[in-house]
Each structure stands twice: as structure tokens, then as C-alpha cells.
Amino acid sequence: MAQVELFAQNPGWNQEEARLAALAATAILDTAQEPAFDVITRLTAEYFHADAVLLGFADESRVWIKSCWGEVVRELPRYQSIFDEVLAEDGPVIVPDVAKHPRFAERRMVLRHLEVASFASVPVRSYDGYILGVLTVFGRRPRHKMAPDELRTLEGLAEMAASQLELCRLRGCLHERGLQPVRAAKSNSVNYSGDPDLRAALEQRQFVLYYQPEIELATRRIVGLEALIRWRHPVRGLLTPADFIPAAERSGMILPIGDWVLSEACHQIQQWNHEHSGLDNVRVYVNLSAEQFSREGLADHVEALLMRSGISSWQLGLEMTESSLISDPRTTLEVLGTLRQLGVSLLIDDFGTGYSSLNHLHAFPFDVLKIDQSFVSRMNGGEQPVQIVKTIVELARVMGMDVVAEGIETETQHRLLREMGCRYGQGFLYAKPMTVESVTQLLRLPGRVLPDPGSAERRETEGSGSCELQGVPIRAR
Ligand code: C2E
Ligand code: MG
Ligand code: MG
């Protein structure tokens, strides 16, 4: 749909919203790399004798690099970026010598290995004029002022990128009208037409994060929170991930939804930090799908989110299941290594349900292992299931990993797990996933220690009324 029409339908939209809609119409952020963009950045580098060239498109928070030359960059935080300068200027920003420039002299500009001394950046616009991205030339040395014909050349190259973008948009329009391009090229582009409800749900902010505490078994003190997505469906009510995550994964919508989850969790941590809600030493874990994991730029994205939200990397953990790792071990190792370097905690979820759990533990740098709830629930059934859990706990200890048992529902499971040396746990026995307001109350409990569920059970059977927080009655102390 043309932006002019969109604007007419949404008179309340501001410029940025219209710009983002124009960007979304191209679907450029969700699709595979366009080889045509690489031709443009290479040409630009050759013409300008540049040390690096980036072509990037900016959403609300990040500049997605769709082609780079010289330095491999996949993503940059948008905050204080060159893109924002170009947007504010509504035109080119040329800085022949960063050190002498009144606005940039204070900032050290580094692009991976390149200390930037000069740059020139021009907008890449949608066909109706919105600045969607920038084409930027970087130099490691100050350069002479850009001559008018040089600037025209750079702008001409940006127009080539814009034309390519317009082709992407038109391709999307064909798709929307149920038409196929004459000769569909083989590409990894994501098809978002599978479940339009999910796209609308995201735009209408119908997704919410619930949080479930992870506790230290010995003390029942909250040591972490797992963020679990829910869909507040206007007709069907509150939906759990099983109702929509499989569809999101099939249609590719898991990528923007996953981005939202990560960004929302970081925002919430920032909020808790700001309110001093007792979040010190509490880590928030976010679940990742295989598709998120295999997309390029995950580590860059996480780094950008950490920088933007100003939270410390140890406050964030990422949970992934074994099945999301098996596709390409080398990439998996590279991505996990980079995330680990950032200081983000890596947790292997549903441990024991995958194909080759031991291999994964050995090969990849996880620091927390989460025992699948199916093992925990079977523990009441005899010696052998207990031995299996014991073996997993021991394995984690040998590997130097923390171990969390999930799906703890009974006091017996709690006791058995403690006896076998499992330090951490999560389950309905302590607290169910709950809204941010409810979990904030729990974080404010003295010492963040949850009430003893034994006493809760007793009080419930005594008819003391319903629980305020699902699974966890709050006692005044
Ligand atoms: P998971 O990561 O293994 O999360 C644990 C699930 O077990 C959660 O279900 C939680 O509510 C449930 N659970 C916790 N304690 C107990 C217990 O004591 N007994 C029982 N029976 N269940 C318990 P939920 O929230 O329905 O999530 C299901 C799965 O959906 C998650 O499994 C995770 O794989 C996925 N998921 C949740 N949020 C996200 C998300 O933001 N992104 C992605 N990609 N996947 C998500
Ligand atoms: Mg999980
Ligand atoms: Mg799990």
C-alpha cells in the first residue's frame, strides 16, 4: 500500500510512524541479503577509495546493515547513529575530518576494526520521500571536502539502492495480491502472509510478557525470571505460546515477535533497575526460537539492545533448546561464543529431550542447564527416574554449569532435587508465570524470598481465600 494512502488512513501518524510503515512495506529487514546491494557498496568503495562502506536501513532501534564492504557489520544501534544525523538533516551529512567537527569531535567513531576519521552519508529514500536508510562511506584518514560532482555520484549510488528497495516493495505488492513474480528467484525470504493475525497482533501491541520466578531451592529466594510470551487475543482471551508460536515459526513472524520479546524484556529490566525493585542479582531469561538463532546478526542485535537499554549484560540470559542448535554447528558456536563474550548467560532449555544432549553440552559454551520438566514430573514414580535426574545434575556439576530443574509441582520433587544437589528450580509449586505487576510485588518481598508453599497449601485448605498471585499467596512480613 502506498504511503500516501497509509497517511490518509492514519491522520494521527507522525513522521516516524509513516517512515516505519514505508520501511515495512519494502519488507527489506525481514528478507535475505540482496546481491544487488553488494554491487552498489563495492562500486561505492571503488569510486571513493573508501576503507569501508555500509548500506543500512533503520527500524525504531537498530540500523540493519544490508550490505557492507571493508568491515563486516551486521547491525548498529540507532541511538546517536549517522542515520539519525541524516534523518535530522533531511539530507547528506559530510564530515571530512571527525576530529575537527564540532558535533563529532567528542565521539570516538569505531567500526569494528576501523577507527573512523572521515565519513560521508547520504539518504536512501522510499519512492515517496521517506528516509529509510543511508549509504555511508568511511575513511580511516581525514579526506578533502567532497566536491559537488562527487556528492552527486554518491547520491546516484544511493538512488540505485532506493530503486532496488522499490523493487522489493513491488514484489511484496504482487505477493499481497496473490500473484507470483514471473520467475520466482530462490531466496530465503520470509513469507509473512501465512498468518496476518500475528502481524496485526504485533502492531496492535497484543503480546505481553509474563514472568515466572526461578528460585534457589535451599532458600526459596528469587534468583532469576523467565520471560514467557502471551497473546491477549481480543476474542479468544489470553493465549499461551503453544497456541501461536508454531504458526509464528511457520510464517516467519517469529522474527519480529522474537525481536519484540527481547526488546520488551530489556526495557522491563531497565524499568526495574530504575525503580529499584530489588532486581539486583536477578537475571531475566528470554526464550529464543531456532529461526532467531539462525538469522545473521543475533549477537549484534543483543549488543545493540543492551547498549540502548543501558542494562548490564549479566542481567540478560538466553534460553534455547537443543533442536534450535543442530542445523549448523560452526555458526552455532560462533554465535554462542559472541553472545558469551558479551556477558550474556546462555541456558540450554528442556535438557534431555534433544537428539544428542551430551554432544551439545560438550561442544557449546552454555553456563546453565535446565532439566526438562518431563524428568522432574516422573521423579515421583520410582528410583530409576530419580537416578536419571541425579545423573543430569552430576553431569552439570562436572561441566561447571549451574542447573535448574523446571516444572516442580510438589514438595516431594522439591525435597528430592535438593537432596541430589540441584541448586535452582522453577515451577508451579513456587509461582506460575505472572504479569509484570505481580512479579514486581514478588521482587519486593524481603530478601526476595518466596513464602513457603507448604504453609500456603495449609492456608488454602483452611479456606483462607484465593491467591492474589497465581500460585503464590503474598504474606505481609
Ligand atoms: P519453556 O521455555 O520450557 O517454558 C516453560 C514452560 O513450562 C512454560 O510454559 C511454563 O508456564 C511452564 N511451566 C512452568 N512451571 C511449570 C510447572 O510446574 N508445571 C507445568 N506443567 N508447567 C510449568 P509456557 O509459558 O506455556 O511456554 C511454553 C513454551 O513456549 C516455552 O517452554 C518456550 O519454549 C516457548 N516460549 C515461551 N515464551 C516464548 C518466547 O518469548 N519466544 C519463544 N520463541 N518461545 C517462547
Ligand atoms: Mg524456557
Ligand atoms: Mg523448558
Which tens digits make up the pLDDT trace of 393-415? 999 999 999 999 999 999 999 99
Question: pLDDT at position 193, please?
Answer: 41
Question: pLDDT at position 104, please?
Answer: 84
Ligand 3 centroid, distance to 449 Cα (angstroms) = 23
Residue 409 Cβ < 6 Å to ligand 1: yes
Burial class (CB in 10 A: 0-12, 13-18, 19+), 149: exposed
Nearest residue (CA) to ligand 1, atom 10: 433
Residues contacting 397, CB < 8 A, separation 6+: 403, 421
Question: pLDDT at position 332, please?
Answer: 81
| Residue-averaged pLDDT of the chain | 84
Question: pLDDT at position 457, please?
Answer: 52
Residue that has been written with the C-alpha cell 522474537 in this structure: 258
* Helix 298-309 vs helix 254-275: crossing angle, to nearest 10: 30
Atom of ligand 1 nearest to the CA of 254: 44
Phi, psi dihedrals of residue 451, rounded to the nearest 5°: -65, 155
Of 28-32, 133-137, 236-240, the range with the lowest mean pLDDT is 28-32
CB neighbours (10 Å) of residue 56? 26
Q: Is the pLDDT of residue 210 over 90?
A: yes
From the list 178, 184, 190, the residue with the least C-alpha distance to 248 is 190
* Residue 451 banded pLDDT, cuts 50, 70, 90: confident
**What is the Cα–Cα distance from 352 to 370, expressed in whole angstroms?**
9
* Helix 148-176 vs helix 15-26: crossing angle, to nearest 10: 70
* Residue 44 banded pLDDT, cuts 50, 70, 90: very high
Q: Is the pLDDT of residue 150 over 90?
A: yes
Question: pLDDT at position 472, please?
Answer: 40
Residue whose CB lies within 8 A of the most ligand 1 atoms, among 245, 318, 435, for a mutation test: 245
Residue whose CB lies within 8 A of the most ligand 1 atoms, among 209, 210, 228, for a mutation test: 228
* Residue 11 banded pLDDT, cuts 50, 70, 90: low
Domains of the chain: 3-176 (3.30.450.40), 196-476 (3.20.20.450)
Phi, psi dihedrals of residue 320, rounded to the nearest 5°: -140, 150
Q: Which residue has the higher pLDDT, 385 or 472?
A: 385
Q: Which ligand is nearest to the CA of 323?
A: 1
Ligand 1 centroid, distance to 242 Cα (angstroms) = 9
Residues with CB under 5 A from ligand 3 (ion): 349-350
Question: pLDDT at position 295, please?
Answer: 72
Phi, psi dihedrals of residue 250, rounded to the nearest 5°: -65, -40
Q: Which ligand is nearest to the CA of 229?
A: 1
- Is residue 254 a contact partner of residue 289, using CB atoms and an 8 Å limit? yes
Question: pLDDT at position 74, please?
Answer: 80
Nearest residue (CA) to ligand 1, atom 19: 407
pTM of the entire predicted model: 0.70
The pLDDT tens digits of the residues spanning 180-197 come to 444 333 333 333 344 558
Q: Is the pLDDT of residue 454 over 80?
A: no
Q: Say what percent of the chain tops pLDDT 70.
A: 85
Question: pLDDT at position 79, please?
Answer: 80
Residue 434 Cβ < 6 Å to ligand 1: no
Can you tell me the mean pLDDT for 287-298?
82
Residue whose CB lies within 8 A of the most ligand 1 atoms, among 347, 406, 432, 472, for a mutation test: 406
Question: pLDDT at position 92, please?
Answer: 96
Residue 229 Cβ < 6 Å to ligand 1: yes
Strand 93-95: give its sheet, edge to edge.
75-77, 62-69, 52-58, 131-139, 118-125, 93-95
Specify the DSSP class assigned to residue 220.
T
Q: Is the pLDDT of residue 173 over 80?
A: no
* Residue 324 banded pLDDT, cuts 50, 70, 90: confident
The pLDDT tens digits of the residues spanning 58-108 come to 988 888 899 999 988 888 888 888 999 999 999 999 999 999 998 888 878
Atom of ligand 1 nearest to the CA of 261: 41
Question: pLDDT at position 461, please?
Answer: 41
